[in-house]
Amino acid sequence: MEAYPVSLVLVVKDNYFRGSIPSEIGNLKHLQMLDLSSNQISGFILNNILYLEAMTLTYKKFNMNVKGIDLSNNHLNGELPSDFGKLKGLQFLNLSNNNISGTIPSTLWEISKLAVLDLSSNGISGNIPLELESLRYLRSLNLSNNHLSGSIPQGV
């Protein structure tokens, strides 16, 4: 009899965790939701997200994808990686209240199931990508308190 994978939710918000996200978190093969919000996690967002990308994998015939990531209220910095599009199953992403800079990568549109995107209160600049318009499940978009220009895409 084949065992079915169990979903895993890891919530360790509102603690005093410091440093970067450990690479071992990529070994949590069944992780569905990761909430490390309101800690003192630091480092480049690119390095931290690469660990999360390792959790997007295929396990036998089941597609095990991380559905939610909350890294809000930390000390992450650097630019948003263009590899975000590889997190295909992501539905919830909150990176608000960090020190993230650079532009919003247009590859975010590749996360077709994304329903909630919060990048507020960072140092993100440039134009709001029109490709966000293709996110048909997007119900909540918060880009406030950044240095963005352009129009919010229709239908968002």
Condensed to tens digits (0 to 9), the pLDDT of residues 89-115 reads: 889 999 999 999 999 988 888 888 999
> Scanning the structure block, which residue is given the tokens 């029109």?
130
Residue 62, pLDDT score:
45
Supply the pLDDT for residue 155. Answer: 65
Strands annotated E in the chain: 8-11, 18-19, 31-35, 40-44, 57-59, 62-64, 68-70, 75-79, 92-94, 99-102, 116-118, 123-127, 140-142, 147-149
**Predicted pLDDT of residue 12:** 92
Q: What is the pTM of this model?
A: 0.87
Per-block average pLDDT, block size 10, for the chain (156 residues)? 66 92 76 92 76 55 70 93 81 96 90 94 94 90 96 74
Between CA 99 and CA 110 the distance in angstroms is: 24
Per-residue pLDDT, 153: 74
Quote the tokens at residue 125: 């600049």
Distance CA 156, CA 141 (A): 7
Q: Which fold has domain 8-149?
A: 3.80.10
Q: What is the pLDDT of residue 131?
A: 85
pLDDT at 85: 79
What confidence score (pLDDT) does residue 143 get?
96
User: How much is the CA Rg of the chain, to the nearest whole Å?
Assistant: 15
